[in-house]
Amino acid sequence: MEVLLVLAIPKVQQDMLCRDPTDSSSPDQQPFCIVFSAGNRGEDADGSKTLTPPHEAKNPIIVGNSLTYRPGVNDGRWPDDIAGINPSSSRGPAIDGRIKPDVVATGTDVSAALSSSANRQPIPNTSGKYVYLTGTSMAAPHVAGTCALFIQSWKKRNDGKIPSLALIKAALINTAVSLVGGPSGRKDQNGQQIPLDHIPNNVQGWGRVNLTNLLTISENNGIESRIYMDQDKPFTSSGQEHVLRVVTVDRTSPFKVTMCYSDVPGATGANPALVNDLDLEVQEMSTGTIYKGNVFKNGFSTTGGDFDNINNVECVYIEKPSGKYEIRVIGSNIEANARPPFDNKTPWQDYALVIDNATKTQ
Please report the pLDDT score of residue 177 as a whole number.
98
Sign of CA dihedral 27, 33, 37, 43: positive
Query: Which region among 32-36, 109-113, 288-292 has the lowest average model confidence (pLDDT)?
Result: 32-36
- Identify which of 346, 266, 361 has the alpha carbon closest to the alpha carbon of residue 54: 266
| Range ranked top by mean pLDDT from 109-118, 268-277, 329-338 | 329-338
Give CATH 3.40.50.200 domain extents, the chain: 3-195
For residue 341, what pLDDT is reported?
84
Length of the chain as a residue count: 362
The 10s digit of each residue's pLDDT in 90-131 is: 999 999 999 999 999 999 999 999 988 888 889 999 988 999
Contact (CB, 8 A) for 42 and 90: yes
**Residue 312 near residue 58, CB atoms below 8 Å:** yes
CA dist 5 → 62, 112, 137, 142 (Å): 11, 16, 9, 10
Q: Is 97 in a helix, a strand, or coil?
A: coil
Task: Please compute Rg for the chain using Cα positions.
Answer: 20
Return the pLDDT at 8.
Answer: 39
Q: For residues 170 and 230, what is the distance between their CA atoms, to the nearest angstrom?
A: 10
DSSP-derived 3-state class of residue 12: helix
Whether residue 55 contacts residue 117, with contact meaning beta carbons closer than 8 Å, is answered with: no
Give the orientation angle of helix 136-157 with respect to helix 165-174, to 10 degrees: 110
Average pLDDT over residues 18-33: 69
Phi and psi for 167 in degrees, rounded to 5? -70, -45
Q: Which residue, 180, 206, 177, is CA-closest to 195?
A: 180
- CA–CA distance, 64 with 110 (Å, rounded to integer): 14
Please check the confidence at residue 242 and state whether its pLDDT lies above 60.
yes
CATH class name, domain 3-195: alpha beta
Residues of the chain with CATH 2.60.120.380: 219-360
For residue 18, give Cα distances in angstroms to 72, 192, 245, 296.
41, 41, 30, 28
Mean pLDDT of 234-244: 97
Q: Quick one: average pLDDT of 203-223? A: 86
How many Cα atoms occupy the beta-carbon half-sphere of 248 within 13 Å?
A: 22
Question: pLDDT for 134-152, tens place per residue?
Answer: 999 999 999 999 999 999 9
What is the reported pLDDT for 6? 40
Q: What is the mean pLDDT of residues 172-178?
A: 98
What pLDDT is attached to residue 10? 43
Mean pLDDT of 203-211: 97
The three-state secondary structure class of 317 is strand
Q: What is the mean pLDDT of residues 57-68?
A: 95
Quote the pTM value.
Answer: 0.93
Over the chain, what is the mean pLDDT?
90
CA–CA gap between residue 70 and residue 124 (Å, rounded): 14
Q: Would you state the CATH architecture of domain 219-360?
A: Sandwich (2.60)
